[in-house]
Structure 1
């Protein structure tokens, strides 16, 4: 298996597979591929080999899809490509019992068959900032390789034991699963959603964290003024 990340602002992940090799991804996320792949969809994929309908339900709770798609290369091999959905970057993660990760909802792209994709954290916060869905992270565990898409520019920090950082939840893209995470109301920050307080995530070391400069909510807010007015269109 060979992977190539092509492009800059809107990168594309190309995965070249030898005969019989397999890759798992969310259904409908494929951008292009060579002919001859055996394509199968099931709730059991993305379960780290454990399978079962409950694994699919856990992914749904974590913001993913109930069904995942498995691509198996034919005897001639081939490649499959996945394009990023937001401007940003694609990162490759090695997953094993000592290296498990929490990734923000919507960031998972693809993985090898023995990686488990499940809900890791779901917290209900302010509907104004988070669209009523709260903060959701998926956990990547098991054994293998996974690829995630992170929005905007990425800043990384290595927190030592006893160190912590306060982070706006939308900017918390990826962190190691063993790191303690809690949410706190921070007084003194005026904002239109919470009055005189703001919810921030408190992430504590030791461990590594990836922060993204762009959030989907802020991107949507930035382009919203330029979208057609549906109400005026329907009335006319």
Structure 2
């Protein structure tokens, strides 16, 4: 198997498969392929054993189904294109290690890589309409590729070193990094600061990968050009309840 990443703002991952080699991704990731690359959609991909494993993967933000691509009768290729402006990165994982990944960050992986539920927190979801904060856990053995929004900023945290991050900008981190959700101090900061109610605190040792662009921020930037009642009310921000709900959604999506 050979891979290459082309492009910068909207990159594409090319995967060249030797005969009978395969790769797995969530459904809907395929962009183009050679005719001899076959598709098989199943709940058992990415290390899931049966339906319950697929449900756990789905709770982490992944799909209930996965698609396996296999080159049959000769070499083939497949391409996965970015869906938003961002960065595609390749990572190698060894047995006994794992990574926590943004719930929309997984692109594809080789056989032997497992995708499951790593973290779920639903603070404020019932009151403010947010759907919680979730992370996927990538483990097993093999190679996997991530797609994070905007540029990826990597930090190597020393033991005990901590950084507070808006939850939406948490892209990925090693399992040695401690993760917790902290609440912003002060009612004015929460309601009028525009940064949401919560921050993610990452504490070393270990490497973290932060993404500069989040889907909610991209949608918010495009909102004034799309029209509609919802966009107008969000832009005006005249009602405190609307503002609080918006901040919570931005924090946890």
TM-score (norm 1): 0.90
The structural deviation recorded for 1:197 is 7.7
Quote the offset at 1:126 in angstroms.
4.3
Question: Partners of 1:7 and 1:164 in 2: how far apart?
Answer: 33
Give the stretch that moved more between structures: 64-73 or 117-126.
117-126
More deviation in 149-158 or 98-107? Answer: 98-107
1:152 to 144, 150, 156: 150
Among 111, 116, 119, which residue is 2:117 paired with? Answer: 119
The 1:155–1:67 alpha-carbon spacing in structure 2 relative to 1, beyond 3 Å, is same
Q: Is the 8 A contact 1:164 1:203 kept in 2?
A: yes
- SS state at 1:192 partner: helix
Cα distance in 2 for partners of 1:195, 1:226 equals: 21
The structure whose residues are more often strand, as a share, is 1
Check whether the contact 1:38–1:71 (CA below 8 A) recurs between aligned residues.
Answer: yes
User: Pick from 67, 70, 84: which aligns with 1:69?
Assistant: 67
Q: Are 1:187 and 1:197, in contact at CA under 8 Å, matched by a contact in 2?
A: no
Once the 2 structures are TM-superposed, how far is the Cα of residue 40 of structure 1 from its aligned partner?
0.8
Higher helix share: 2
Structure 2: 5+ residue stretches without partners: 231-253
Contact 2:106/2:145, CA 8 A, preserved across alignment: yes
Deviation at 1:41, TM superposition (A): 1.0
Q: How does 1:155-234 map to 2 (within 5 A)?
A: 155-188=153-186, 190-192=189-191, 198-229=197-228
Q: How many corresponding residue pairs?
A: 228
Contact 1:155-1:212 at 8 Å conserved across structures: yes
Q: Is the 8 A contact 1:25 1:70 kept in 2?
A: yes
Query: CA 1:10 to 1:125, structure 2 compared with 1: closer, same or farther past 3 Å?
Result: farther
Separation in structure 2 between the aligned mates of residue 53 and residue 184 of structure 1, nearest angstrom: 34
Q: CA deviation at 1:100?
A: 1.4
Give the superposition deviation at 1:98.
Answer: 4.2
Match in the other structure for 2:26: 26
1:154 positional shift: 1.4
CA RMSD after TM alignment: 2.2
Kept in 2: contact 1:126–1:193 (CA 8 A): no
